[in-house]
């Protein structure tokens, strides 16, 4: 399956509610699986944010189509990590601070802030100027949560 097909499948699953119908824990056989899932989502987002940042910094030539592809990946994947902060996973060694599990409403707000910014990335990727400012706003949403709830 191509990367695009995987994402289309993920988006279809989200749209039909397949990913959110059952209680979160049922999606993961073990707490370790949930940790791996959320870390994998962050790794993907970070890779594609890095590609956009390289264009913004002039380390890579600006390419609107490639930027829009990365923006779509980031926007789709940014919806995934949150269901994987399941109860019990705070006992697994990870980069999540214990405070995260005690403040679900705040974490939800910060994740929604990110989703709000990533939703604007695809349109912004059409020009280097708008990409620059939206990568900045998106990165700030990543950092706002990391400053409070990420260990490393």
Residues that bind ligand HEC (CB under 6 A): 35, 38-39, 42-43, 45-46, 49, 94-96, 100, 107, 110-111, 114, 138, 141-142, 145-146, 149-150
Rounded to whole angstroms, the Cα distance separating 114 from 132 reads 16
Q: Which is nearer to ligand HEC, 3 or 104 (CB)?
A: 104
Report in angstroms how near the CB of residue 109 gets to ligand HEC at its nearest. 8
C-alpha distances (whole Å) from 117 to each of 23, 42, 112, 135 are: 27, 16, 9, 9
Taking alpha carbons only, the member of 62, 68, 75, 73 closest to residue 128 is: 62
Q: Smallest distance, Å, CB 42 to ligand HEC?
A: 3
Q: How far is the CB of 90 from ligand HEC (least distance, A)?
A: 10
**Residue 20 or residue 43: which is nearer to ligand HEC going by CB?**
43
In the complex with ligand HEC, the residue whose CB is nearer, 28 or 42, is 42
Residue 50 CB partners (closer than 8 Å, separation 6+): none
76 or 110, CB closer to ligand HEC? Answer: 110
Q: Can you tell me the distance from the alpha carbon of 118 to that of 114, in angstroms, rounded to the nearest whole number? A: 6
């Amino acid at each position: 399956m191509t990367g695009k097909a995987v994402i289309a499948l993920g988006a279809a699953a989200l749209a039909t509610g397949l990913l959110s119908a059952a209680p979160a824990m049922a999606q993961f056989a073990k707490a370790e699986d949930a940790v791996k899932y959320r870390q994998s989502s962050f790794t993907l987002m970070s890779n594609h944010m890095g590609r956009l940042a390289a264009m913004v910094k002039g380390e890579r030539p600006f390419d609107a189509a490639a930027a829009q592809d990365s923006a779509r990946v980031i926007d789709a994947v940014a919806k995934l990590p949150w269901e994987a902060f399941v109860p019990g996973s705070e006992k697994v060694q990870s980069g999540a601070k214990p405070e995260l599990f005690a403040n679900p409403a705040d974490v939800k707000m910060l994740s929604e802030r990110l989703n709000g910014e990533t939703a604007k990335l695809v349109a912004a990727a059409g020009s280097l100027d708008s990409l620059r400012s939206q990568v900045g706003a998106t990165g700030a949403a990543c950092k706002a949560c990391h400053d409070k709830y990420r260990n490393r």
